[in-house]
Amino acid sequence: MTNYPVMFTFKDVVSGNGFLSGVMLSGRALMCKESDGKWWIYGVHPGGMAQFGESAMEAFSSFRASYKTVLFDIAEESSNFEEFEAEVQSFHNQCGEGEEARWETAVNALRDGTVIPEEPFSKLPKHAPESRTCEVTVERLDLKASNLFSSENNIPDTFELPVAA
């Protein structure tokens, strides 16, 4: 069973109790085809979620949708922006013991050629993980002057393989 390390970036606008927030997350996950025949994606950062699908891309799509519902749940549970920001940061930072090492091991297997990626991984954009900081930023948008909004701030989802291009 091959573990594929992946990197992703999601940007969302989330309505909360008395605030509007922009959340941009650059995360890490491991993907593999389990013995049940399904593709699974296990969050490393954030570590508190997983999803699956009949294909790798279906699993990633489900993971993306689940991530958004987690943000919606956190927004509903937070009485103000500060609570929301703290909980989203905590959600992103949580990681099981040894999971970062498992991700790094999978990256090294790609780098040294032990693992030759199959499709769709072989077709994904490739970036060195050092160039993709694993982080989350939570911004309050409703207090921002409207003339600071720009279409240049729109960022599409990314789904990448962590090796040098």
Partner 1 sequence: MSASVSFKEVEQMLDTCAPGWTGRFSNHSRVIKYNGMVFRNLPKQGAIEVGFIRSMARLFNILDCAKKQIPLLAT
Phi, psi of 19 (to 5 degrees): -150, 160
Residue 52 sits in the site that holds partner 1 (CB under 8 A): yes
Residue 40 sits in the site that holds partner 1 (CB under 8 A): yes
Give the C-alpha separation, 15 to 116, whole Å: 42
- Which residue lies nearer to partner 1 by CB, 62 or 126? 62
Residue 156 sits in the site that holds partner 1 (CB under 8 A): no
Residue 1 sits in the site that holds partner 1 (CB under 8 A): no
Residue 109 sits in the site that holds partner 1 (CB under 8 A): no
37 token code pair: 């025949």
Residue 47 sits in the site that holds partner 1 (CB under 8 A): yes
Contact string 61-100 vs partner 1 (x = CB under 8 A): -----x--xx-xx--xx------------xx--xxxxxx-
Give the C-alpha separation, 66 to 97, whole Å: 23
Give the C-alpha separation, 65 to 70, whole Å: 9
- Which residue lies nearer to partner 1 by CB, 24 or 72? 72
Residue 37 sits in the site that holds partner 1 (CB under 8 A): yes
What CA–CA distances, in Å, run from 150 to 9, 118, 155? 19, 38, 11
- Which residue lies nearer to partner 1 by CB, 44 or 110? 44
Give the C-alpha separation, 36 to 54, whole Å: 10
Tokens 């030759």 correspond to what residue?
Answer: 116
Binding site for partner 1 (CB under 8 A): 34-38, 40, 42-43, 47-52, 66, 69-70, 72-73, 76-77, 90-91, 94-99
